[in-house]
Amino acid sequence: MALVPVQADQAPALSALCYEIYPQTFTYLWDDAGAWYMDAMYSVAKMQEELRDPNARFDFLALDGRRVGYLKLKLDSDLAGEPGGLEVERIYLSQDCAGQGLGGFMLAAAIDVAQQRHKRYAWLHVMDSSLDAIRFYEKHGFSIVGETMLPFSHMLPHYRRMWRMRKPLA
C-alpha cells in the first residue's frame, strides 16, 4: 500500500474515484441518493479547482497497483480561530478494502504531515450518524470538540449534524 500524490492532470481519475466510493457509504444521507452532492463536489471541474488550491493536498491510496481510496488535507486550517491546525478533510476508502488497516494508514500519514508542518493539532468533521468512523477517530486520539449543521437542501434534515473532532499534537 502507498499514498501517491494526485497530480493536477489527474482530476478525471480523482473525480471517477469519488463517484465510485462516495455512494458506497453516504447515499442514506440524501433524498436523491447523493446525486446532487456528487455533481456539486466531485465533478472533474470541481476536482481541477481543488487540485489548484495551494492549501490542499491530495493523495491516492494505491493497493496492489489499484487506486482504492484517497486522502485530502487542508494544510493550514484553524478550528474555531485557534491557530496551528491541519484539517483532515477526507479519508475515502472503497468498502471492499475495509478492515485492512488502510484507514489507519491514511490517518497516520495525515498526522505525519501535520507534525512535519509543526502543527499544534489535527482536526476533522465526521457525520454524527457515522458511529464506526467516530469510534475509529476516537481510537486514534481524536475527541469531539464541537458540531456543525450542513445546509444542503437535498440532505435529509435528521442527518445534517457533523461533529468536529480534534487531536492535539506534540
Query: Which pLDDT tens digit goes with each residue over 31-65?
Result: 999 999 999 999 999 999 999 999 999 999 999 99
Residue 159 pLDDT level (bands cut at 50, 70, 90): very high
pTM: 0.95
**CA atoms of 63 and 69, how far apart (whole Å):** 9
Kind plus residue range of the DSSP H or E element containing 56 = strand 56-63
Level-2 CATH architecture, domain 2-122? 3-Layer(aba) Sandwich (3.40)
Is the Cβ–Cβ distance between 120 and 169 less than 8 Å? Answer: yes
pLDDT bin (cut points 50, 70, 90) of residue 99 is confident
Pairing between strand 85-93 and 121-127? parallel
* Four-point Cα dihedral 72, 73, 74, 77, nearest 10: 130
Cβ contacts of 47 within 8 Å, gap of 6 or more: 11, 12, 14, 15, 18
**Is 87:77 a contact under the CB 8 Å cutoff?**
yes
Tens digit of each residue's pLDDT (9 = 90 or more) over 102-121: 999 999 999 999 999 999 99
